[in-house]
Structure 1
């Protein structure tokens, strides 16, 4: 059995991850969400944002076994107050340490697009201080991705805690530096290193991102490339360490 992660400590930055779980299906195969849970347990993150983690037609039907996630990874789902019967929001799901403090109830953001896309915005403290999380999944079309990035920046600026450090993570479906969505986000979050995560069995496209504001928060970006991860989804998870700036 893989044990729960150790408690937060001042000498260790948060370990975070983002992972498109392909609706619980391997690159070629049947619905096997238990493989996703095992990959998450391998990583043992303090926080992970998942995409394609809900049944499109039955969002009230949980895709992942929360008892297994709690037992083997020490994580719980961050549910929206107005949707307590759903694990996530528009296929996004955020899992956090069981001892995480939720400073403001998470919000589900509609960001447009023909696909069921959206974002989860939350204010959290996992033991290193307060920060804002934006977990999202962008569309396939470049013009839609640009508008979705603009919508997220507007939500970030409108928040009551607008001065909080912000962690943006998810599948942005964008691999070109300065292209559509990244062209909107990079003036605020800086240029994100390109770490290939897609396709999982032989990655060469950097579709997934972990970005921080202010600069310098996010370090150690890497793909979680293991035999299990290559079989579980068509994306590899992207992981990083996050060190929050000292409060002003």
Structure 2
């Protein structure tokens, strides 16, 4: 079982308007993910410096960033950062520009986890509906041009307020969205902006919105997690799959969970 997560960390600024990246690290440690797509993880102006300290990520959450530019002050590309646990190894990372009137980009990361290849598209789509549809089409084109039998997933802040339609209609040509869960605004979640979509080679076991005390104040978004398995892995004999399903049920039942499957 692999735990995926997506989290818009708003450059470490919490609901108290204080920049405290240590709270983000705490939330990530609570999630215990294997692969994380972060949005707004680098400053937007100047040197676009990283918000999170790689040493703190490693020591407290067991996560390491897939570095895009080893010489730069930031960790990612247009604020997108992918973090991997020790179970996963980055094979390749491709920064990808997305069509928009505002600067937008995505990361396409090829990773090896438990001996299997997984291709992740990590993105933060634009504010305008027309831009989001064009960006979704560009992401699909990237995945299709790289198709080689690897399992595929897409995660990020899609900025799509509707549960269906819009850019999701474009993405569904290749990817299966996990059921929408409200992740924004953290103070009263109503919009499913943060999404996980699975492509070939992966099946969904459980997913939910993480609403710990730390997550409720660390950012204006809540992280969304998904436990997935490779499609050719045995379902009935995988003990972790049963544990993941049970955790998903607890999230669905809890008034603090924001839903789950």
Counterpart pick for 2:117 among 123, 127, 130:
130
What is residue 5 of structure 1 aligned with on the other side? none
> What is the CA–CA distance in structure 1 between the aligned matches of 2:14 and 2:99, rounded to whole Å?
27
> What is the CA–CA distance in structure 1 between the aligned matches of 2:61 and 2:16, rounded to whole Å?
26
What is residue 8 of structure 1 aligned with on the other side? none
> What is the CA–CA distance in structure 2 between the aligned matches of 1:217 and 1:119, rounded to whole Å?
23
Counterpart pick for 2:215 among 229, 244, 248:
229
What is residue 4 of structure 1 aligned with on the other side? none
What are structure 2's unaligned runs of at least 5 residues? 234-261
CA-to-aligned-CA distance 1:122-149 (integer Å, 9 cap, x gap):
1111215111010000011110000000
> What is the CA–CA distance in structure 1 between the aligned matches of 2:71 and 2:230, rounded to whole Å?
30
What is residue 58 of structure 1 aligned with on the other side? 46
> What is the CA–CA distance in structure 2 between the aligned matches of 1:171 and 1:27, rounded to whole Å?
18
> What is the CA–CA distance in structure 2 between the aligned matches of 1:115 and 1:146, rounded to whole Å?
14
CA-to-aligned-CA distance 1:145-193 (integer Å, 9 cap, x gap):
000000000011111x443110100000113244221010113213430
> What is the CA–CA distance in structure 2 between the aligned matches of 1:166 and 1:84, rounded to whole Å?
29
What is residue 141 of structure 2 aligned with on the other side? 154
What are structure 1's unaligned runs of at least 5 residues? 1-12
1:243 aligns with 2:218: no
What is residue 196 of structure 2 aligned with on the other side? 210
CA-to-aligned-CA distance 1:52-103 (integer Å, 9 cap, x gap):
11101134522101111101111100012x5542311100011101352222
TM-score between the two structures when normalised by the length of structure 1: 0.88
Residue pair 2:122, 2:154 contacting (<8 A) in 1 also: yes
| Closer, same or farther: CA 109–59 of 1 in aligned 2, 3 Å | farther
Residue pair 1:100, 1:126 contacting (<8 A) in 2 also: yes
> What is the CA–CA distance in structure 2 between the aligned matches of 1:50 and 1:190, rounded to whole Å?
20
Residue pair 1:102, 1:125 contacting (<8 A) in 2 also: yes
Residue pair 2:177, 2:196 contacting (<8 A) in 1 also: no
TM-score between the two structures when normalised by the length of structure 2: 0.84
Aligned length: 232
> What is the CA–CA distance in structure 1 between the aligned matches of 2:173 and 2:166, rounded to whole Å?
12
Where has structure 1 moved over 3 Å in runs of 4 or more?
A: none
> What is the CA–CA distance in structure 2 between the aligned matches of 1:153 and 1:205, rounded to whole Å?
24
> What is the CA–CA distance in structure 2 between the aligned matches of 1:136 and 1:37, rounded to whole Å?
20
Residue pair 1:178, 1:186 contacting (<8 A) in 2 also: no
Residue pair 1:97, 1:126 contacting (<8 A) in 2 also: no
